Structure 1
Amino acid sequence: MQSVIRRTTWLPCPRRMPTPFRLYSDAAPASEPPQDNPKSSDQSKEDPALVKLQEELAKSQKEAADYLDRLRYLQADFLNLQRNSAREREKTRDFAISNFAADLLETTDVLSLALKSVPESALAETQSDAPPTKSPSDYLRELHNGLDLTQRQLLQTLFKYHIKPFDPTGDVFDPNRHEALYQAPIPGKTPGTVIDCQKTGFTIRDRVLRAAQVGVAQEVSGSAPESDAPSS
């Protein structure tokens, strides 16, 4: 029996070494795509409606601040208006009686003349043996006392409305407060000073209600001219 030799393709397989198991990779890490900043991404992707609302909010806040400033200015103006109105009412109350008060001033002039008509010598007369009936001097004294009381009561009424008299005798002539009736050279008197007050002046608060009618001293020259003073 012939032995048959068959060619085979079997090749010896080399022994494979076991591959060790590793928990890491020695390969270079793959480059990651750049990530956008979430904040910038959100800003770039903001809703247009939200942007509009934010703009309107900022505008409204600015308008509110402007209105608040205007309100403060208006409040200050209102307070100033109240103070000015109060002052105007006070002035109106003071000057509303100016015409009435000006008429009363003539009454004070008459009373002053009546008081001056009784000489002081007559008032000083006393009679130890006077009869029970009143003497003429008693009547004159009573008349003077009555006129004096009337004048004082009238002046008190004027004081109530801030109307006060002033006698500028001896003061420097002031055209805003005095009315010069005449000028006369008076030795020993400074030129331009008031030497005589024929009618008392009156003021209502700080306002001249009637200027005082006065005589003014004139400079004395070598040959003094005739006096312009009214003859008595």
Structure 2
Amino acid sequence: MTVKDGQTTPEQNPEQEMHTSTDPEQGQNPGTEMTEENPNIEQAQAEQAEQADPVQEELEQLRILSNENYQRFLRTQADFDNFRRRSRQEKEEYLKYASLKLIEQLLPVVDNFSRALSTAQGTQDYDSLLRGVDMIYRQLEQALVQEGLTPLETVGQAFNPEFHQAVIQVESEEHEEGIVIEELQKGYMLKDKVLRPAMVKVSM
């Protein structure tokens, strides 16, 4: 304790003086340093967040686009499956009733044949019966022509293996070699396709 100018002041311990004094090399206490560093950290975090946001946004947009494309693919696949199923059903239906039109045209022919047979049992007029059968034949022939069936021309034509089937070959003084001189069984075309070649006799 020291007496100065009539006042008594306590003496400080040297160790207390060391603790209370400020370190001249540090210049300021640690609390001040933390206060100055915090803004720098927050600014760095903010800049990092700003850089990450566009990336996250782009990833989200890609995810949405991917999901939309996948849903579109599922719808397209479902539409294709439905189309394929309908096509198969329509094909089966067509094949099942492909001969419907021809059958409808042949029914009147069958009816006329039935009437002709019933009439033939109780009549002696064979000429009338013959005319009736000929009429039915022509009716049948007309129904087949409407479906695209046409007979092949044979007699007098040069032999063609695409349309003719040579059953017999004979020598002939009246015809050149390889000419059809007789038709043994008719051949037919169905539109542009050979349905059945004609059986013929050919000169040699």
TM-score > 0.5 by shorter chain: no
TM-score bracket for the superposition, by shorter chain length: 0.3 to 0.5
Structure number with higher helix proportion: 2
TM-score normalised according to structure 2 size: 0.44
